[in-house]
Amino acid sequence: MKTNRITSLFLFVGLLIGAIVSLFPFYWAAIASTNESGKVFSKPPVLLPGGKFIENLSNLNDTIGIWRVMGNSLFVVIVYTALSLTICTMAGYAFAKFRFKGRNVLFAVFLLSMMVPYHALVIPLFKMMAAWGWLNTYQALIVPNLAYPFAIFLMRQNMLAVPDAMMEAGRIDGVSEAGLFTRIILPSVKPALAATAIFLFMFQWNSFLWPLIAAQTKEMYTLPVALSSLFGLSRIDYGQVMAGVTLATGPIILFFLLLQKHFISGMLGSSVKE
């Protein structure tokens, strides 16, 4: 019995250390965003909040126009998530609930494309955007990733579980094909819709390489691109940088804490069921 108690104490301490390591950088970034720039390196380190957050934020706005950038990110993410979720859910539905010519080949092609690294796409995409005059526009940030194979896969897997009998009953009652989709299928896969929406949201919110290439002026920067440009300046104002980092992470963390389960299943591709 005694060894048991020692083991569980050992486990608890191990977990506690892990949790502190995981959380501390967030705490520290938030603290640094409320203090003067120089204080990130002061000895002993400053670990308590100061009163400079508003000042750092307004400096940040002077340097990169943070509200505009934040607006860009939010606009792109929201429009992208809504459109992509619609398109991928429709495709997932076709794959899950219909038999048609070419279905298996098509689905296999979608799956295989998940192995292709994004790097193999960016150069042709850049040339296409340049040719269409799409560089530095919102559509360049939104449109290229709308058909996201993994989201299609997720929706298909979840719709497979909806009994065909439900659809047959609907058909007998004279429900239209569109009605079957919106009134019978969609309501029964709500958790999957939430998880997929979060997956797409996170993908777009964190996306860096493509916006770095497609957004070419400050007015079109998304948050990660703006932060990276700020951090690349020769004289870095750490207070400003940390205020930006806090803006980029704070809302997501809040969102995560509120919707934990959907978040985890969305980000792991619903491989976690609880």
| Angstrom distance (rounded) from CA 23 to CA 167 | 47
State in Å, rounded, how far the first CA of the chain is from the last one. Answer: 31
x/- letters, 56..75, toward another protein (CB under 8 A): --------------------
In the numeric block, the tokens 């916006």 are attached to 211
- The piece of 49-57, 59-67, 74-82, 99-107 that touches another protein (CB under 8 A) is 99-107
- The piece of 52-60, 115-123, 156-164, 189-197 that touches another protein (CB under 8 A) is 115-123
Q: How far is the CB of 179 from another protein (least distance, A)?
A: 12
Q: How far is the CB of 214 from another protein (least distance, A)?
A: 11
Q: Does 181 bind another protein (CB under 8 A)?
A: yes
Q: Does 253 bind another protein (CB under 8 A)?
A: yes
Number of H helices, E strands in the chain: 15, 0
Q: Which of 34, 35, 40, 154 binds another protein (CB under 8 A)?
A: 40
Task: Return the residues of window 130-169 that contact another protein according to CB under 8 A.
Answer: 143-147, 149, 152, 168
| Angstrom distance (rounded) from CA 36 to CA 99 | 63
Task: Name the phi and psi angles at 65, rounded to 5.
Answer: 60, 60
Q: How far is the CB of 198 from another protein (least distance, A)?
A: 10
Nearer of residues 58 and 113 to another protein, judged by Cβ:
113
Copy the structure tokens of residue 184.
Answer: 């019978």
Residue 81, judged by CB atoms within 10 A of its CB (0-12, 13-18, 19+), counts as: buried
Q: Does 120 bind another protein (CB under 8 A)?
A: yes
Q: Does 12 bind another protein (CB under 8 A)?
A: yes
| CA dihedral for 207, 209, 215, 220, sign (positive or negative) | positive
Rg (CA), the chain: 23
- The piece of 61-69, 74-82, 158-166, 242-250 that touches another protein (CB under 8 A) is 242-250
